[in-house]
Chain A
Amino acid sequence: MTRPEPDLRAPRRDVHFFDTEHGQHMLAVDGSRVFDVPPGTAEAHAGWDDAARAGFLDGLGLRDAPFIDDAPPQDMPVRSLSLAVAQKCNLACTYCYASGGEFGGPARNMSWEVARASVDRLVSEAEPGDRISLAFLGGEPLINRDLIRRATDYAVRQARAKDLRVGFSITTNGTLLRPDDAEFFEAHGFAVTISLDGIGAAHDRLRPYRGGRGSFDAILSRVAPLLEAQRRMQVGARVTVTPRNMDLPETLDRFVAMGFHSVGFSPMLAAPNGKHELDRAGLDDMLAQMRLCGAAFEAAVVAGRRYPFSNMASAMHEIHRGTHRPYPCGAGAGYFGVSADGGLFACHRFVGDEAAAMGDVTSPDSARRNGWLAERHVHTQSPCNSCWARYLCGGGCHHEVIHRGRPACDYIRGWLHYCLQAYVRLIEARPDFFGEGGPPSRAE
């Protein structure tokens, strides 16, 4: 695969302007800094040449040493592993990135030796006081329930011996959940993500059993005890959005009402069989739907009500902190996916994919890891390196970019533009949502 040469002629966007009822605002791309600017600044800026724009940033003291340089991080310790404990699945989701759970290979379970070696890898690279994370994915991970429990217990013991904090998570289709799973996940404070693609028939169309029967009702009855039991455990719903399940506000409301700790949406961009991928029109639809969900979130926050729309909640906190990242995620840096036979890959989605193979869990290939980080840095990605959203987005999911390219940039920019506006509105209305000041007094 050859990487396109960065287009150096494209003007690099260092600021992005947006308006709200509170006036005009500017995102300084470097450091993801948000400012209020005088009205008309955006219009004036549009008429300036490069020198004038640079002078403008200079005048604001915004051209100090950049927050992100070109140097990729190297030799990072492994902090987080996801284990493909079962590379097989009892569902036949139409768009699955793992091609039915088997990642294009034979169906198999992970052995205890591989799981133990994975925990040992995490523990050996951590220093006392560090936090490590172990995630269980598949296929459908609960097909290999015994291994999950054994690996969890082992990780707890090993972490305690070295004074590490350990977090657990699992992503499951929910069809195999048992009441005693609720106890186990609660005892270990799991973050449980259930893949649900809509309400009733909408879900069943996309996520049928292998025989074709719908799975929604069965899942709901199995998830109920978990929702009931969650104290330390957090149960979230993850919705993969395709052209066939576009009722996002309704879906969101229903899942929130059911008691999910968080509900998140992600667009279907790259399926091995090309099925149900969103095209440009589909992404436009999705953006409109996401903004409706966002409006519901804003209304809830202003009213002081919890509304766990996770895309929005995390965007608000990231913008508030000024999160700026040269990568979309930790894949290949501190995070890796482990295949059933112990291969190490850039993330759970790349399991079995040579393009992102990083050695195996007993002997990671640090040259490939460092090479990956050098190659995937957003400054090397085109057209990302000239895009204003580059440090909020990080260049887009590696798996999708490598296999489908970047069809969703307009969607991502549209969503971030909306989120920036919502951020200004919310920090005006409810600074306490961001941990600042008190709630508004009743007199207001």
Chain B
Amino acid sequence: MPEPMNPIRVKPRNLTARAAYRVPGNPDNTRLDGSVGNCFPGLEMDVRDLDRRFFPGLVFNAVRVPLSPVAEAPKNTQGFHLVFVDYMYDPMLPDDSPDDWVQTLLSAYRGEVGAKLGEGRWFLSWVEQGGRRIDFHDKDRTPYDGMLVWRFVRSLESGSDNPVSVALVRRDHEGAVDAEPVVLHGYRRRYRTEAGVFDDAYDPGELTQSLCNPWSHDFRDCGCHYWPSNHPDVVMAEVPHDQALPTGQSYKPVAAETHLDWLRADKSPSGNVAALNTVEQNRPFQIDHYQVNRMWSELPIVVEGRETGEVYQADPELQDVEPYADVQEMVADLKKRLAPMEMTLSLQYLYAYFSLADPETVDAARWPTLKDDLIFARRALLEVAIGEMTHMRWANQLLWELQGDAYEPVLTPAEILRFGPGYGRVHPRSLRPLTAEAIDDFIEIERPGGYIDRAYAQCVATLENKALFARRLYALAVRIDSDGDEHYLRFRQMKEVLAKYDTGQGLPAYLRPVKPGTKAQAKQALALFNSVTDGLRQAYALEACDKFAQAQEHIARVRDTMQDLRVTGDELAAKGIGIPFWPEAET
């Protein structure tokens, strides 16, 4: 028998064969339909490039307002900038076209207009279609940013019944218009031909010319946080496992918990100094453009915020965790302890969130950085609170998967919490502003290897048994378990960022005075909160019997109500009233 596996050379003939043809050895995403196209500036293609030839014979670039303008540079360089006139091989402009508009355009490009457009910097000034004109200037005649112009250009319609007129203006060094505008009439180009392939007007490489280059310069500098260029700014140093204390903490806690700049050029132990506060301050110590091309593969893998060496060892400090004796024991623990605890945490965090001052009204003269830090802290705290709500849902999901018909939603907050070193101490639940002490407690609560972490590790150890449990249950428990590390890091960052506003005299500048209100004061907020728990109860019960569509209706309503609760909570907090999610008399 011949050897059929050897690749043979074939030539795709028709359009489907050509479109779907995968060059042997190329990965899937070398074809456009398997790619991600966006405009920032995109991965496999930059969709802005489709519109650079929107008008026959002209080639534009969408130019943005410079981020760091240089004084001596020309002014008003933003907009749709004419790169050059390119009519010779434009499929919309064949020499022998019988259409008047084509011949008119061709003679313009070949003649005076073409010569004029070849001198100086020309920009698209307006477009007109269907009797409507869009002028690309602000009221004070400042030209629009190229991205904005591009949005409008995109909206132009193609087709023989949709003529388009465009005007171009020339701008001098000072950005002022210094020549009579050029007005041209034609039609918008279609991106694709009838056969479904890109118009021949586009040159090879033209649609990909402005892409980012994930493994080189763009990886260093890219600001779009897109996956190929996304990287951590700060990380914690690798901690050898044999240097951990039985509690999970390092022998050298300062070194183990100091944030380092991930891009630091000096990777030796001497380079492991704390990262500075801003990108600009860290910049001189980072690997440079010429280095990243060579060194990107030396950048360490980061797991859970920490650089790892050759081998990543999951939860090394929790080796003494034993599985539950049986499912009943785990169910009981989830019901009585874990799910209620998640609810309590999410409400404590939510309460603390409302205690943070409004970033818009802070004393910017006295605390210039406070606004930004508050924006960070509010977002981070809300994320953590939402994370706990998610955990509560997952704990419930574990319950309904394990209990079947016997399941009842658990939506009652626990009255006590346990945290602290070792097996922890019992603390009453408490609605507290985000004071320094509260942050310290929250850090303890979420500490890897702490009480909560260990509790879930026990679930993970139980569900790990493939013979007894579906793999998704195990995966669910792992997700809750590993999420906690992120919360821990978040609180540590909050502590660091907010500490400087706590002068030890009176209320720290980042807080507003909030005390738990009475039921009457918080009537509206409590009603919303009750509607949230009722909605969740119904949703979970429905999900438990696979009625997902109906459950979704409740979930969607709960989401809306949570938005209202956030607004209401903020309004109350502005008046110094915290939402009494539970009676605080017991503390």
Contacts and interface: CB of A to CB of B under 8 A. Distances in A.
Contact of B20 (A31, A37, A424): A31
A47 interface: yes
A107 interface: no
Given A61-B24, A321-B195, A25 B13 contact: yes
B9 A33 contact: no
A48 B4 contact: yes
B584 to A, nearest CB: 56
B14 A32 contact: yes
A438 to B, nearest CB: 10
Nearest to A47: B1
Contacts of A434: 195
Residue among A25, A31, A35, A56 with max Cβ neighbours from chain B (10 Å): A35
Contact of A32 (B4, B16, B195): B16
A185 interface: no
A59 B14 contact: no
A387 to B, nearest CB: 19
A55 B4 contact: yes
Contacts of B22: 61, 64
Interface in A32-76: 32-38, 41, 44, 47-48, 52-53, 55-56, 59-61, 64, 67
A321 B4 contact: no
Size class of the A contact interface (CB-based, 8 Å):
20 to 34
Contacts of A52: 1, 4-5
Interface in B1-53: 1-2, 4-17, 19-22, 24
Nearest to B20: A31
Contacts of A320: 14-15, 195
A34 B194 contact: no
Contacts of A427: 13-14
A179 B287 CA distance: 84
A191 B399 CA distance: 66
A351 interface: no
A88 interface: no
Contacts of A59: 4-8, 24
B297 interface: no
Contacts, number: 85
A319 interface: yes
B15 A321 contact: yes
B193 interface: yes
Contact of A55 (B5, B19, B21, B24): B5
A359 interface: no
A423 B8 contact: no
A31 B7 contact: no
Contacts of A26: 10
A60 B4 contact: no
Contacts of A41: 8
A11 interface: no
Given A26-B10, A33-B20, A322 B15 contact: yes
Interface of A: 25-26, 28, 31-38, 41, 44, 47-48, 52-53, 55-56, 59-61, 64, 67, 319-322, 324, 423-424, 427, 434-435
Given A37-B10, A322-B15, 8 more contacts: A31-B16, A34-B14, A52-B1, A59-B8, A61-B22, A319-B14, A321-B14, A434-B195
30 contacts: A25-B13, A26-B10, A28-B17, A32-B14, A33-B14, A33-B17, A34-B17, A35-B10, A35-B13, A36-B13, A38-B9, A44-B2, A47-B1, A47-B2, A55-B5, A56-B5, A59-B4, A59-B5, A59-B8, A60-B7, A61-B21, A61-B24, A320-B195, A321-B195, A322-B15, A322-B19, A324-B16, A423-B14, A427-B14, A435-B193
